[in-house]
Amino acid sequence: MLKKEFKKLEEVLVQVGLRIAKRGEGALFVVGEVKFKPLVDQTVPSFRVVDNPKLLESLALMDGAVIINREGYLKAYGVMIESKKTFKNFGTRHSAGYNASMIKGNVVFVVSEEDKKIRILRDGKMIMQIDALQKGVEKSIPYSIQALESIGAGTVGALGAGILAPSLGVALVPGVILFGSAYYLIKYLTNKFKQ
């Protein structure tokens, strides 16, 4: 998938995640490959996710995760992800997302029904958190996705540190916290000010 197309996919996943979180519901989106077991019959045929976000949202509300391949097509929904480790201080959805994010190349979007936040994970680390209740957060989505692409996977030194100590993250736009080493944050800021 081209970088521009992947950026659009990430943007759609954040938008859908925000709608779900604002209603107090949860979801899990995995972009990439992961071992899973279907919890429901897979009757909905594969479709390009960016072309039908409403259908994606409906499928995400079922128990289990939504798996999207790296080309942006729905692979499965309502599935249980094989998990070997837990995401400390979080529930099963976060643990499943954490395990899926440890597979190289995967990007995971966890929508929390409890605190109404979207957490984006790569390489077994949280790289961004978006607060669905923050006023005007929708306007921050393009900047958030740009930041996500800019910082890549260089992230939190200690898994979950941003949740336990948000001061380790940097809020660059309302409702969005980036987590990462100083190098990646400085790299992002440098790129931002050059524009």
> For the chain, what are the domain ranges?
3-194
The structure tokens 């978006």 sit at 130
Q: Who wins on pLDDT, 37 or 5?
A: 37
Burial status of residue 176 (CB atoms within 10 A of its CB: 0-12, 13-18, 19 or more) = buried
3-194: CATH topology? YojJ-like (1 (3.40.1700)
Confidence of residue 60 (pLDDT cuts 50, 70, 90): very high
The structure tokens 């692979």 sit at 75
CA distances from 100 to 30, 66, 78, 109, 134 (A): 7, 11, 15, 10, 27
Look at the pTM and tell me if it is higher than 0.75: yes
The reported pLDDT for the residue numbered 70 is 92
> Which residues does residue 81 pair with via DSSP β-bridges, in sequence order?
36
Distance CA 19, CA 183 (A): 33
Q: For residue 166, is pLDDT > 60?
A: no
Looking at this protein, which amino acid is placed at residue 177? I
The reported pLDDT for the residue numbered 163 is 36
